[in-house]
Structure 1
Amino acid sequence: MPHATTDDGVKLYFEETGSGTPVIFVHEFAGDMRSWEPQMRHFGQRYRAICYNARGYPPSDVPAQSSSYSQARAADDILAVLDHLGIEKAHVVGLSMGGFATLHFGFRHPTRALSLTVSGCGYGAELDQQEKFKGEAQASARMLMEGGMEKFAHHYGYGPTRVQYQNKDPRGFAEFVTMLAEHSALGSANTQLGVQGSRPSLYTLVDQMRALTVPTLVLTGDEDWPCLQPALLMKQNIPSAALSVMPNCGHTINIEDPDEFNRLVGAFVVQVDCGRWPMRDPRAVSGSITGMKS
C-alpha cells in the first residue's frame, strides 16, 4: 500500500494516475481522497494527478492524540507527499479543510507550489464567529466520541451548505454521507480539535496574504455562506489571486458540480503553465472610485 511518511512518523496513504505536470488534491473534513474521484479521472488524462488521505483518515495513520493534528501539520503533510514522490513543484488544489491547508502551504512553502486553488475556505474565519466555531468543533468532537461516526455523519452531512448537493444530486449526496460514516471517529474528533477548532482566523493573516505571489484561484459556491466574505478577503489581499463564484452551489463544489469545478481549475492551471497568470495591476487598487479626481 503506497504511503508517504511525515517528519513526525505518520504514514499518509496516497494514489496517483496519469503523467506530466503534477496536480495534488487535498480533501475536506467531511470527505477523503475518494471525494476527488471526478478530478482524478479528469485531470489524470492531462496531468500527474495525486490525492491522499489526511492524517486521521484510514488507511492513513490515525494518531491517538489531538496534539498530533494542527493547521501547520496539515500544510506540511502536503509537502511530505510531494517529497516522497520526488516532486519539486505541483499545482495544489484544496477544498475547505484542504483549502486552508493549501493556503497555508503557500505561506509556508511557496517555492514548492506552481499554483494554489483555495476552494470552500472560510468556515469560522470571521473574527466574530471564532468562538462559536470553536465551540461547534468541540461539540462535534464530543458527538464523534460518544455517538460514533454513523450518527455524526447523519447530522453533520446535512448541514446548511450541503443541502444544495442533496437537492441537486440525491444519489451523489447519499454516497457522500455513506463515505463520511466510514471515517474514523477518533481521527475525525482529533481533526476537529487539532485542526478545525485551533486554526487562526484568515483575518489575522492579511500580511501573509499580501506577501503571497504564487498564482492563486479562490473558488466558492454562492450559497456557501461562511466562505463568501473570506473569499473576498483573499481576493482583495492576495495580489496574485482571482475569485470565481459558482452559482447555486453550496460547500462541496467539486462533487456538487464537478464539470464546472474542473473547467475553472483546468483553465486556471493552463494559464499558469503558459506563464500568463497576472499579478494585480497596482492601478486597479487606487483610492479613486472611477479614476476621475473630484
Structure 2
Amino acid sequence: MARARTSDGIELYFEEFGSGEAIVFVHEFGGNYWSWEPQIGYFSRRYRCVTFAARGFAPSDIPENVSRYSQARAVDDIFDVMDAAKIEKAHLIGLSMGGFAVLHAALRSPDRVLSAVAAGTGYGAEKEWADYFRNVSEGVAEKFEKLGAKEFAPVYASGPSRVQFQNKDPRGWALFAQRLGLHSDHGAANTMRGVQMRRPSLYDLEGEFKKLDVPVLVMTGDEDDHCLQTGIFLKKAISRAGLAVFPKAGHTLNLEEPDLFNRIVSEYLAQVEAGKWERRDPRANGAQIMKTE
C-alpha cells in the first residue's frame, strides 16, 4: 500500500502484489483499484501486479477544479505510478476509461509499454453518437452532484451494458453497485466533465494507431454496443492488435466474465513474451476474399 506523487502535485493511492514482470491495471469510471480483484489474485502468482485509484477516486486525492482532470493527465498518472513503484516498463491493462488511458499511454511512450489491453473501450468515440455521449455524460455528472453517489449508483449500475453482469452474477453486481455508491460525488462529476466529455475520439487517432508497434489486445462484449464497433476499428487500425469478443457479455468484462478474461489475457501475455504477437501478415489483405492466381 503506497502513494505516488504526480508531476502536478496530486497523490495517488496504489497497491502491488506478487513479483516478476509488471502489470499495471487501470480502472473504469464505475470502478476503482478494487475492480481488479479477480485479476490480482490470478496474475500475482506470476507477475508483479499494480492497481491504483485514479485522481478523483478515494483514497487518491480529489482535486476541486475540473481543469486538473483530462485524458492527457490520466496518462501522466499511469507513468507517475510506475515511477513511484520504480517500474520502467509494464504490461498495461485497462477497462473502459482505463482502456482509453492505456491506448494513449502506448501512443505517447511505447518504450515504456510492454503490451496493452484495452477492454470495453469506445464510449464517445463513435462520431454519430458524440453529441449524445457528451450530453448524457453531463447528465451523469449532475446526478452525482445532486443525488450523490449512494443514491445514483444503482441507476448507473443498471445501464444497458451492465445488466448482463447483474443477470449472470447478482451478488457480484450488487457488490459492484455498493462500491460505486462510495464514489466521491465531486470526483465523479469532475471525472465525467474533465476526462470522459473532453477526450478525443479514437477515430481521430487512426493515423497514430497505424504507426503503433506495441502489442495490443482489444476486448469487448458483444452486447456492449458502443464499444463493439470501435473494437473492430481498433483491430483494423493497429497492425499488432488482436480482437476478443465475449459472447452474451456487456461492459464490465473483467468482473462479469473473470475466468474467460483471465484466460484470454494470460494466453495473450504468453504470446507477447514469446515474441509471437506480431504485426498482421500483409498477405492477410482485407481488400481480398480469395486468390485467383
What's the TM-score bracket when you normalise by the shorter of the two chains? over 0.9
For residue 80 of structure 1, what is the aligned residue in structure 2?
80
1:287 CA drift (Å): 3.3
1:289 CA drift (Å): 2.2
Matches within 5 A, 1:1-294: 2-285=2-285, 287-292=287-292
Structure 1 residue matching 2:197: 3-state secondary structure: helix
Counterparts of 1:183 and 1:292 in 2: how far apart (Å)? 59
Structure 2 residue identity aligned to 1:30 = G
Counterparts of 1:196 and 1:264 in 2: how far apart (Å)? 27
Counterparts of 1:107 and 1:185 in 2: how far apart (Å)? 31
* 1:231-260 CA-partner distances (Å, limit 9, x unpaired): 000000101100010111100010001000
1:97 CA drift (Å): 0.3
Counterparts of 2:286 and 2:40 in 1: how far apart (Å)? 41
* 1:50-95 CA-partner distances (Å, limit 9, x unpaired): 1000000010000001110001111111100111111111000000
Structure 2 unaligned residues grouped into runs of 5+: none
What is the identity percentage for the equivalent residue pairs of Structure 1 and Structure 2? 51
Structure 1 residue matching 2:76: 3-state secondary structure: helix
Structure 2 residue matching 1:55: 3-state secondary structure: coil
Counterparts of 1:151 and 1:129 in 2: how far apart (Å)? 27
Any runs of at least 4 consecutive aligned residues in structure 1 with deviations exceeding 6 A, and if so which? none
Counterparts of 2:205 and 2:292 in 1: how far apart (Å)? 33
Structure 2 residue matching 1:205: 3-state secondary structure: helix
1:34 CA drift (Å): 0.6
Structure 1 residue identity aligned to 2:33 = M
Counterparts of 2:17 and 2:139 in 1: how far apart (Å)? 38
- TM-score, length basis structure 1: 0.98
RMSD between aligned residues:
1.0
1:192 CA drift (Å): 0.2
1:286 CA drift (Å): 5.6
Pairs aligned (count)? 293
Structure 1 residue matching 2:269: 3-state secondary structure: helix
- TM-score, length basis structure 2: 0.98
Counterparts of 1:291 and 1:91 in 2: how far apart (Å)? 38
1:291 CA drift (Å): 2.5
Q: CA 1:136/1:110 → structure 2, altered by over 3 Å: closer, same or farther?
A: same
